[in-house]
Structure 1
Amino acid sequence: MSTQTAEPETRSHPVVSREEWLKARKELLLEEKKFTHHRDEVSAKRRKLPWVKIEKDYVFEGPDGKKSLADLFQGRSQLIVHHLMFKPGDKEACHGCSFQADHIGGPLMHLKYKDVMITAVSRAPWSDIQPFKERMEWKFPWVSSYGTDFNYDFGVSFTQEELASGKIDYNYGSSPYVFEELPGVSVFIKDEEGNVFHTYSTYARGLDEILDANHYLDLTPNGRGDEDPEQWPKFHDRYEGGDGKSCCGNH
């Protein structure tokens, strides 16, 4: 993997004394604390959202055959679904969504002990997903929703009629982008009787909360480099000479 880094922009950046830096840092700390407290308030409101009971019998396919939505919980009461952009006919998932998928494995081992399972769901057939999953060496659960309404019902896939209209209901109608597939995360809970409820979905920049690599970059002087397409995430096995293009961009 390449270790090439961007050159720091020190020529145009102010350089001050330690005392001046400390004054500026304390001022920023006040803003950071406001942001943290506001995020806590928003998270509390998220947990209080009403639920919607799932009435459809969705069927998914994975390495162990057919699975229901309830099966994807794997014995836990809470489920996070990564809507991973990989449509029928594709041989690879989206670059940006693959960057997102790189953030699943690490937290999963901890979330299992908090009664949470994570799985990726894509619209491509399992026979197309499996070789790419093996190539990327991902160990998290991943299933196909091929032939079902699941992706459409949860706002990440769109019909040809919707695309032809020039307007899709992505991110609750707030996004100007019109694509056949777009990224998202949906959350579900299952009660003791086996009933499954949809509790939350987020799209577009709402996914930023779970991209820890971006938050590390936010701590650095050069930041994420989102304004330069050459700095966009690549497949983690293609950083040597990879093309870096992403179908997600910065929606």
Structure 2
Amino acid sequence: MPEHRIGTQEEFEAARLELLAEEKALTRRGDELARKRQELPWVPVEKDYGFETSDGTQSLADLFDGRSQLLIYHFMFGPPYEAGCPVCSSIADTLSPNAVHLKARDVTLICSSRAPLDKLLAYRERMGWSFDWVSTAGSDFHRDLGFLHTEEELRPFLEGEMPPAVSQNAEACGTDVLGYVTEGPGLSAYALSDGTVYRTYVTTARGLEPAMAYYGLLDRTPLGRHEDGEEIFWLRRHDEYATH
């Protein structure tokens, strides 16, 4: 544990009140951004995508499963992967138990990946998740959203200094670096109205942090995320951590 400034209870309370004012301002700003997300224009999805599911091939409209809203987490699990991305797996740990609560608010939550369906379902069983998981069945669904990249597009990144976490995660997925970073994570949202599917929101990178509940909790601990300078990325699948 590093050295830290020590203070009195009175000093703590004064500093905490100052911080609380900033936290409340951030909460109000978050509410404002949520309203702006919901005010984004809806874009009709005109392409006819097909998805392999446990109930056979389905359309994007079918994936709503009788509800009017759909959230899709684009899970990094490419065709050459032997196991899902550890980071996406940590996100799925948060998504799975929340699916039932989202259903109560007329929202269906699923994951989609490019790997064959049998690989996805076997991995889901290993991880103990309950959400529906679909394969994009060779369609351009992930590519059209910016979650699938070509080698040419990735060349500047591949020729640069490779972050240790990338090589580590590629090995954990049973593929090489190119095979790993070809895939990208993301979250997209849809509405179904009068038989038409509309895309309403898309995000990736740190926009996915609301689904990474552990970071919000770590941000409230004495050491925070404590990731700077780590040569070995700490995140693992939940069944791969050493017993503490």
Aligned equivalent of 1:208:
209
Letter in 2 for 1:151: H
Aligned equivalent of 1:136:
127
Aligned equivalent of 2:170:
none
Letter in 1 for 2:31: D
Aligned equivalent of 1:172:
none
Residues 11-48 of structure 1: CA distance to partner in whole angstroms, max 9, x if unpaired?
x1111111111011011111111111111111111110
* Local SS of the residue matching 2:94: coil
- Mapping of 1:97-176 within 5 angstroms? 97-164=88-155, 166=156
- Unmatched 5+ stretches in structure 2: 158-177
CA distance in 1, matches of 2:187, 2:147: 9
CA distance in 2, matches of 1:229, 1:115: 43
* Local SS of the residue matching 1:188: strand
Letter in 2 for 1:105: S
CA distance in 1, matches of 2:129, 2:206: 24
> Within the alignment, does 1:182 sit opposite 2:164 as a pair?
no
Structure 2 residue corresponding to 1:59, chosen from 42, 50, 56: 50
- Mapping of 1:12-91 within 5 angstroms? 12-91=3-82
Aligned equivalent of 1:198:
199
Letter in 1 for 2:206: R
Per-residue deviation at 1:240?
A: 2.0
Runs of 4+ in 1 over 4 A off after TM superposition: none
CA distance in 1, matches of 2:231, 2:16: 31
Does structure 2 retain, via aligned residues, the 8 Å contact 1:225–1:231? no
Q: TM (normalized to structure 2)?
A: 0.85
Aligned equivalent of 1:95:
86
Superposed CA RMSD: 1.6
Q: TM (normalized to structure 1)?
A: 0.83
Aligned equivalent of 1:217:
218
Aligned equivalent of 1:240:
242
CA distance in 1, matches of 2:226, 2:87: 14
CA distance in 2, matches of 1:163, 1:215: 30
Residues 30-88 of structure 1: CA distance to partner in whole angstroms, max 9, x if unpaired?
11111111111111111100011001111111222111111111111000000000001
CA distance in 2, matches of 1:80, 1:213: 21
CA distance in 2, matches of 1:162, 1:69: 27
Does structure 2 retain, via aligned residues, the 8 Å contact 1:225–1:232? no
CA distance in 2, matches of 1:148, 1:199: 20
Per-residue deviation at 1:230?
A: 4.1
CA distance in 2, matches of 1:225, 1:111: 32
Letter in 2 for 1:234: R
* Local SS of the residue matching 1:156: coil
Aligned residue pair count: 220
CA distance in 1, matches of 2:66, 2:235: 34
Per-residue deviation at 1:229?
A: 5.0
- In structure 2, do the counterparts of structure 1 residues 160 and 204 end up closer, same or farther at CA, with 3 Å as the change threshold? same
Percent identity over the alignment?
A: 44
* Local SS of the residue matching 1:233: coil
CA distance in 2, matches of 1:226, 1:195: 44
